[in-house]
Homo-oligomer: A and B are copies of this chain.
């Protein structure tokens, strides 16, 4: 047992989160397939290590990986975490994955006197850079207390949503709404455009009624409506999250006709080669495909 924290998965989000941990005084053992990413962390004082080594030496192992396939391999493979870690180890999975995979991991961990915490990340990569992420955490109270200092080093807002599995499930519910708001706003603005309305005036009304929403207030005026579709969070990633939402909904027998319609709209956006732009850009995609002028606010426009 040791004070070191394991961190596996140094992609766009992971490297920033790991960097914040290391900078704020935690000693990290890190691993990634990409040697550049590992070197960048070593430059901050972290130590490169193999997965089994990390498992043996760390009481908390963080994973930040693309999908449940990678997480289950790293956790349950022959050279993986569970096969090598001491009883009492916490696997803190911060990836966004199928919640049924989290349940399987938790069950497998319990068989070895280990535990799993799921704590997927809200907000964007740029927030992770600044240590301003939001976390939705599924954990026992005891585990939550143990991982809380780590989360505090990486973000500003932490919600303890319930037992293990609750973090990922809450994230799916949350991201379903956030992504769907983009599509709803896109359709509304396309209609406003075709109606010939002044988009600034339409926005002013919507922001002043119960139609108000976080995407329209925060994301749209700064991104797509200002002509900036450089990605904070891409249409491809939004599509991936919707796939998890719709898959989980079908597994749980929850009919979600609007989720399905939004999923198909994002699928069309990907197929028509807009997958790499910011997810607020779905407003441009909807208009582009239907030959409607793109909605724009005047430079410097702010919601009053």
A34 contacts chain B at the CB level, 8 A cutoff: no
Tell me if A174 is interfacial: C-beta within 8 Å of chain B: yes
A184 at the interface (CB under 8 A from B): yes
**Which B residues lie within 8 Å of A248 (CB)?**
191, 195
Chain B residue nearest to A259 (CB atoms) is B187
Interface stretch of the complex, out of A83-91, A145-153, A211-219: A211-219
For the residues of A in contact with B, the DSSP-based class is: helix
Chain A residues near B (Cβ < 8 Å): 99, 122-123, 134, 136, 157, 159-162, 166, 169-170, 172-178, 180-181, 183-185, 187-188, 190-192, 194-195, 197-198, 201-202, 204-206, 208-216, 218-219, 239, 243, 245-250, 252-265, 267-268, 270-273, 286, 289-292
A122's closest neighbor in chain B, by CB? Answer: B209
Taking a contact as CB atoms closer than 8 A, the residue among B122, B173, B202, B262 that contacts A195 in the complex is B173
Contact A188 B202 (CB under 8 A): no
Give Cα distance in the complex from A100 to B273, angstroms: 22
Q: Are B178 and A187 in contact, CB atoms less than 8 angstroms apart? A: no
Additional A-B contact list (5), CB under 8 Å, known A260-B264, A268-B289: A134-B209, A161-B201, A173-B197, A181-B210, A213-B213
A173 to chain B, nearest CB (A): 5
Asked whether B181 lies within 8 Å of A256 as measured between CB atoms, the reply is no
Q: Which residues of B contact A250 (CB under 8 A)?
A: 239, 243, 263, 267
Q: A191-B173, A253-B267 are in contact. Are A181 and B178 (CB under 8 A)?
A: no
Are A136 and B205 interface neighbours, CB within 8 A? yes
Closest to A253 in B: B271
- Least Cβ distance of A34 to chain B in Å? 24
A103 CB → nearest B CB, Å: 11
A–B complex contacts, Cβ < 8 Å, 26 sampled: A123-B209, A136-B205, A159-B205, A159-B208, A161-B205, A162-B198, A170-B192, A170-B205, A173-B195, A173-B205, A176-B188, A181-B211, A181-B213, A191-B248, A194-B254, A210-B213, A212-B214, A253-B271, A254-B267, A255-B271, A258-B262, A258-B265, A268-B289, A271-B290, A273-B291, A289-B289
